[in-house]
């Protein structure tokens, strides 16, 4: 694997959903991959993946699938990664590079360190910052990663050649590579991704519990619809992420509840200035940092 | 005003923003209005409104503007409505119909009952369920109300002819009319609109306060961007709505914080089942009631 831009003869994707499937499709489109083998729990999803040309072959057993692989992408919900790693480790070859697509990094790195054994030096922790609220192989498309960031969190043990291969594969998908410390990664994404998901899930969940939910939601407009778009995301995947990143997430959840309590206090007491100040801070920050408008 | 589909000779719009401006443009496009007079606090915005053909004339004083008007739409933030109503009441003619575009109805009706005096029977409380996060006359466009709901909350005193005029004007804008009790209206929109705005404003406000806000938000993706789109809305307008509808909103805010605390508890204790159950309830409700997918 001395030339990182070399073709990946055999790619194994464990978990052929939006993330894993789009990686396979993008590498195929770039002419960077030979054979793609998919592994997954759902036969129906794997059949769809073959039908759609996302993978070339489905193999039920991950350990069997990874034999002779050049690259293995573990793209399951993070809660399943320890089991996958423990299962494939004995079957991994001496030059097979392993990477992941998990939204949390400290826990995945700890699992890999524990379960991949000597193969840990060829494990490259990664997190592509892309996705939609849709899931499954049918949601995959080759352009998902174009101009998106992929975070890599290499460890002291990570070999340069393994890092170069994963880096070049994501670049072939059109992505930009950003290296981040794993702890910092988890703090950042707790704030800009994991917390917003909890915010959206909890909002719809609370409204859905009401007896008049159908009536209420029938009157909703585009505002609510956009606010809770990400509440359409995979419950299992987000359950795992929230629990994996619990420390950073709980700190932020507490800060958020405090901010809501501040808003509540201002509304209750009719303190228009305090309320308008909070709303104005939000509007300004959104313009400056989310829309990246000048000023 | 016996023929409700008659042309509105003179329309006065107090507050020429997204809501008022789009109403004027839609009626113009439908050939339903003669002259449109705009009233507002900002000369710059009124000049833009004339320039863009949203209004034909700007008059600084609302009382002077409403003389001989067939229809007056008050489309200011709801906090300004009592002052506007008190100011125009003495100048209103005996056949002038007054309506509003406020997002809360009980408070606006109470103001109108108090400040419009004998003209209250020609006041038609209304709330068009449309809008974007943009504001000002430049944001107005004639298609804003096409296929959207407009809620009317007529009172026992409301005259049939005034109601018919307002109903037909909104229908000419392409909107569908729904009549609702004012209290029920306020409860429903506290849930599907006012609460989501507070949720979004508070989320960005909390993140914006951090020293590392620029870095954090620089890593955000489409998920956060959609979740907080409505945090780009007018702080003044939303300050007024939240305070006007405080009772219904605070009840819902408390329910929401409780739901977040439930999520926090499940995350803290690693109770994946509870967390997944909440997320699944949200995803199902979104599909069923927000996307209106079958099943």
Confidence of residue B1 (pLDDT cuts 50, 70, 90): very low
Cα–Cα distance for residue pair A14/A73, rounded to 1 Å: 6
Measure the N-to-C terminal CA separation of chain A; round to a whole number of Å: 47
Portion 26-85 of B in contact with A at CB < 8 A: 79
User: Does residue B285 contact residue B292 with C-beta atoms inside 8 Å?
Assistant: no
Cα–Cα distance for residue pair B258/B272, rounded to 1 Å: 18
Determine what percent of chain A is predicted with pLDDT higher than 90.
92
Parallel, antiparallel, or unpaired for β A176-179 and A149-152?
Answer: parallel
Check whether A2 has a pLDDT greater than 60. no
Instruction: Give all strands (DSSP E) within chain B, no chain letters.
Output: 8-14, 33-39, 57-58, 71-74, 97-100, 123-124, 126-128, 149-152, 176-179
The class (CATH top level) of A8-180 is alpha beta
Cβ distance B192 to A221 less than 8 Å, yes or no, reads yes
Chain B residues in contact with A281 by the CB 8 A cut-off are 204-205, 208-209
Minimal CA separation from B216 to chain A, in Å: 6
Going from N- to C-terminal start, the domains of chain A cover: 8-180, 184-290
- Name the CATH topology of B184-290: 6-phosphogluconate dehydrogenase C-terminal fold (1.10.3660)
- Interface-testing mutation among B19, B107, B224, with chain A (most A C-beta atoms within 10 A): B224
Q: pTM here?
A: 0.88
Q: Following DSSP, what letter does each residue of B140-186 receive, concatenated?
A: --TTTTTT-EEEE---TT--HHHHHHHHHHHHHTTPEEEE--HHHHH
Q: What is the pLDDT of residue A291?
A: 86
Q: Is the dihedral of CA A180, A185, A191, A194 positive or negative?
A: positive
Q: What is the pLDDT of residue B193?
A: 95
User: Does residue B167 contact residue B152 with C-beta atoms inside 8 Å?
Assistant: yes
Average pLDDT over residues B15-41: 97
User: Does residue A18 contact residue A140 with C-beta atoms inside 8 Å?
Assistant: yes
Cβ distance B219 to A290 less than 8 Å, yes or no, reads no
Check whether B13 has a pLDDT greater than 50. yes
CATH 3.40.720.10 assigned to domain B8-181? The reply is no
Helix (H, G, I), strand (E, B) or coil at B68: coil
Parallel, antiparallel, or unpaired for β B126-128 and B149-152?
Answer: antiparallel
Check whether A101 has a pLDDT greater than 80. yes
- Interface-testing mutation among B147, B216, B239, B240, with chain A (most A C-beta atoms within 10 A): B239
Average pLDDT over residues A27-50: 97
- Of the candidates A179, A171, A180, the one whose C-alpha atom is nearest the C-alpha of residue A147 is A171
Burial level of B93, CB count in 10 A (0-12/13-18/19+)? middle
Confidence of residue B294 (pLDDT cuts 50, 70, 90): low
Give tens-digit pLDDT for A88-99.
999 999 999 999
Minimal CA separation from B151 to chain A, in Å: 10
Cβ distance B253 to A263 less than 8 Å, yes or no, reads yes
Check whether B282 has a pLDDT greater than 50. yes
Portion 107-146 of B in contact with A at CB < 8 A: 129-132
Cα–Cα distance for residue pair B158/B124, rounded to 1 Å: 7
Give tens-digit pLDDT for A40-58.
999 999 999 999 999 999 9
Average pLDDT over residues B256-260: 98
**The three-state (H, E, C) secondary structure of A203-250, written as one string:** HHHHHHCCCCHHHHHHCCCHHHHHHCHHHHCCHHHHHHHHHHCHHHHH
User: Does residue A221 contact residue B196 with C-beta atoms inside 8 Å?
Assistant: no
Q: What is the pLDDT of residue A295?
A: 43
């Amino acid at each position: 694997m001395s030339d990182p831009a070399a073709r990946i003869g055999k790619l194994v994707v464990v978990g052929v959903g939006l993330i894993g499937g789009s990686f396979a499709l993008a590498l195929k489109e770039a002419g960077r991959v030979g054979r793609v083998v998919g592994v997954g729990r759902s036969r129906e999803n794997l059949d769809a993946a073959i039908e759609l040309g996302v993978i070339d072959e489905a193999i039920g057993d991950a350990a069997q699938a990874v034999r002779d692989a050049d690259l293995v992408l573990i793209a399951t919900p993070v809660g399943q990664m320890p089991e996958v790693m423990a299962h494939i480790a004995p079957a991994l070859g001496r030059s097979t590079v392993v990477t992941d697509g998990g939204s949390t990094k400290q826990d995945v790195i700890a699992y890999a360190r524990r379960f991949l054994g000597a193969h840990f030096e060829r494990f490259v922790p990664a997190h592509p910052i892309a996705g939609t609220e849709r899931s499954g192989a049918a949601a995959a498309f080759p352009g998902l990663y174009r101009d998106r960031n992929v975070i890599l969190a290499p460890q002291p043990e990570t070999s340069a050649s393994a890092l170069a291969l994963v880096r070049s594969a994501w670049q072939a998908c059109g992505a930009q590579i950003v290296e981040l410390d794993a702890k910092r990664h988890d703090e950042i994404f707790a704030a800009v991704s994991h917390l917003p998901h909890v915010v959206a899930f909890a909002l719809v969940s609370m409204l859905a519990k009401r007896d008049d939910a159908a009536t209420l939601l029938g009157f909703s407009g585009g505002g609510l619809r956009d606010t809770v778009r990400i509440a359409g995301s995979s419950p299992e995947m987000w359950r795992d992420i929230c629990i994996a990143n619990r420390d950073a997430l709980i700190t932020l959840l507490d800060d958020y509840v405090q901010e809501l309590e501040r808003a509540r206090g201002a509304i209750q007491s009719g303190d228009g200035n305090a309320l308008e100040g909070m709303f104005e801070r939000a509007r300004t920050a959104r313009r400056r940092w989310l829309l990246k408008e000048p000023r």
